[in-house]
Chains A and B, each alone.
Chain A
Amino acid sequence: MRLLPKEVESLWTLFTGPTIWAVHFLVCYVAVAIYCEKARTGPFTFAEMRLALVLVTLLALAGIVLSAWLAWRQWGFGSGDPPHDAPTREDRLLFQGFATLLLSGLSFVAVLFVAVPLVLIEACQP
């Protein structure tokens, strides 16, 4: 008898999208906060920092798209219909793929929402 199965099935891939969203949110928030606190002493301008954050945003979106594509593949490119609730390994995999795909979509939108103020607000409040 063994306590752990030979191959650990992991749920972690499920959280790729939300994790990227959280990291992106933190990076944007912290970068702007620190920049605005030290605005007069910083070595770069607000526009440069914003450009850097736009790149971070594109990277985050690319990461989420990648995770979505992997999930889509895991889900068999939509070959079967949800809910995938049979107690089989096959269904667990499909379920996880489908759930990851949905979460990736949500994270994609959330990252865009976080980025909107970044694009439209142009300076620090004095």
Chain B
Amino acid sequence: MAAPLVLPGCAGGQSALDPAGREAAEVYDLFVVMVIGGGVIWLAVIGLLVHACRRRRRTWSEEGAGRLIAWGGVAFPVVALFALLAYAVWLMPSIRPWLDRSVPEPAMIDVTGEQFWWRIRYPAEDGMAAFETANELRLPVGERVAFSLRAADVIHSFWIPSLGGKMDMIPGRTNVLSLLPTKTGVYQAPCAEFCGASHAYMAFSVIVMDTKAYDDWRRRQAAGNRPGGSEGERLFAHHGCAGCHSVRGVTPVAGLGPDLTRFSDRRTVGAGALANTPENVARFIRNPSAIKPGATMPAFDMLSQGDIAAIAEFLTGRP
């Protein structure tokens, strides 16, 4: 009865109960089967309990009780557990298509977990150049994508609940995960392995788009920013931001921090910590650790308000 009231809480962009991908749908099916199976067994056990507590009781013969125990307590659990185990194990290859090595590693989207953000490298594809971006993943709907997952410092975990199960990112190792998004939309992906003070602020957005929009986005990303000669652009290089951050087309390549090319396309600042607005970008630049404890970007509170505002304007404005 409470279900219609409670279930809407399970919808949304970060819920395994609202699947938007093939693998997530399999996990969801497994969940439903287990919940219903568990529910039926629970009801049966409670039913027996009520039966045992009933008022006017006619006692069971010893033989009858023995039979009930043998069937209900031994045969049934053995068969039920066997079936559930077999079902779960049988489902495993489709929930985790890690065996699908049809995509060679260079053609995978490479995601590296770093304290406390996500480095994302898209491979060259269909005449579109390879490029690096960060903290936001865009995927074409209805196409299988494979990820090679790494970690730069400590263990992180890659998890897009709406699209599939999680996969750890382990320093020194490359794990592979493959997903098939089936619904366009915006989803959230939290880091799923405690990785330090700002673990809770380490997330990325996933935007599943139709193929045409996706290709346009890729082309724009690969092309990079157009130099506009604005004050913010100059200050970005002048104050040393460009030593850690690339803005392709405008600054030389730098790899210490997240790539900031076409940053205005991004939904969030600080790997999901804040919404992407000029005010929030300015706040982040002034003191990243005030927003994300332990963030490795230094504070720039010695810069004037005006300079920070100009840089924020440059980052969030037309690329």
Report which A residues bind B (CB closer than 8 A). Answer: 105, 109, 112-113, 116-117, 120-123, 125-126
Give the distance in Å from the alpha carbon of A54 to the alpha carbon of B89 in the complex: 17
Give the distance in Å from the alpha carbon of A105 to the alpha carbon of B98 in the complex: 36
Interface SS of chain B: helix
Are A126 and B82 in contact, with the CB atoms below 8 A?
Answer: no
Other than the known A109-B78, A125-B99, what 4 A-B pairs have Cβ atoms closer than 8 Å? A113-B82, A116-B85, A121-B89, A123-B99
Are A120 and B82 in contact, with the CB atoms below 8 A?
Answer: no
CB within 8 Å of A: which B81-118 residues: 81-82, 85-86, 89-90, 92-93, 98-99, 101
Chain A minimum-CB-distance residue to B92: A121
Are B89 and A116 in contact, with the CB atoms below 8 A?
Answer: yes
* A126 with B176, Cβ < 8 A, contacts A109-B78, A113-B82, A120-B86 known: yes
Are B99 and A112 in contact, with the CB atoms below 8 A?
Answer: no
Chain B minimum-CB-distance residue to A81: B62
Chain B minimum-CB-distance residue to A105: B74
Q: Give the interface residue-count category, chain B.
A: 10 to 19
Give the distance in Å from the alpha carbon of A123 to the alpha carbon of B101 in the complex: 12
Are B93 and A112 in contact, with the CB atoms below 8 A?
Answer: no
Give the distance in Å from the alpha carbon of A105 to the alpha carbon of B75 in the complex: 11
Contacts of A120 in B (CB 8 A): 86, 89-90, 92
Give the distance in Å from the alpha carbon of A113 to the alpha carbon of B90 in the complex: 13
What are the interface flags for B151-182 relative to A under an 8 Å C-beta threshold, 1 for contact and 0 otherwise? Answer: 00000000000000000000000001000000
Are A112 and B82 in contact, with the CB atoms below 8 A?
Answer: yes
* A122 with B93, Cβ < 8 A, contacts A113-B85, A116-B86 known: yes
Give the distance in Å from the alpha carbon of A109 to the alpha carbon of B77 in the complex: 11
Are A116 and B99 in contact, with the CB atoms below 8 A?
Answer: no
Are A126 and B89 in contact, with the CB atoms below 8 A?
Answer: no
Chain A minimum-CB-distance residue to B99: A123
Instruction: Choose from B78, B81, B93, B101 the contact partner of A121 (Cβ within 8 Å).
Output: B93
Give the distance in Å from the alpha carbon of A112 to the alpha carbon of B89 in the complex: 14
Give the distance in Å from the alpha carbon of A105 to the alpha carbon of B77 in the complex: 13
Give the distance in Å from the alpha carbon of A125 to the alpha carbon of B99 in the complex: 6
Chain B minimum-CB-distance residue to A126: B101
Are B99 and A126 in contact, with the CB atoms below 8 A?
Answer: yes
What are the interface flags for B52-92 relative to A under an 8 Å C-beta threshold, 1 for contact and 0 otherwise? Answer: 00000000000000000000001000100110011001101
Determine how close the nearest CB of chain A comes to the CB of B107; give it in whole angstroms. Answer: 15
Contacts of A113 in B (CB 8 A): 81-82, 85
A sample of 15 inter-chain contacts (CB < 8 A) reads A105-B74, A109-B78, A109-B82, A112-B82, A113-B81, A113-B82, A113-B85, A116-B82, A116-B85, A116-B86, A117-B89, A120-B89, A120-B90, A121-B93, A126-B101
Contacts of A117 in B (CB 8 A): 89
Determine how close the nearest CB of chain A comes to the CB of B41; give it in whole angstroms. Answer: 18
Contacts of A112 in B (CB 8 A): 82
Contacts of A121 in B (CB 8 A): 89, 92-93
Question: Which residue among A120, A121, A125, A126 has the maximum number of chain B CB atoms within 10 Å of its CB?
Answer: A120
Determine how close the nearest CB of chain A comes to the CB of B116; give it in whole angstroms. Answer: 28
Contacts of B86 in A (CB 8 A): 116, 120
Contacts of B90 in A (CB 8 A): 120
Contacts of B82 in A (CB 8 A): 109, 112-113, 116
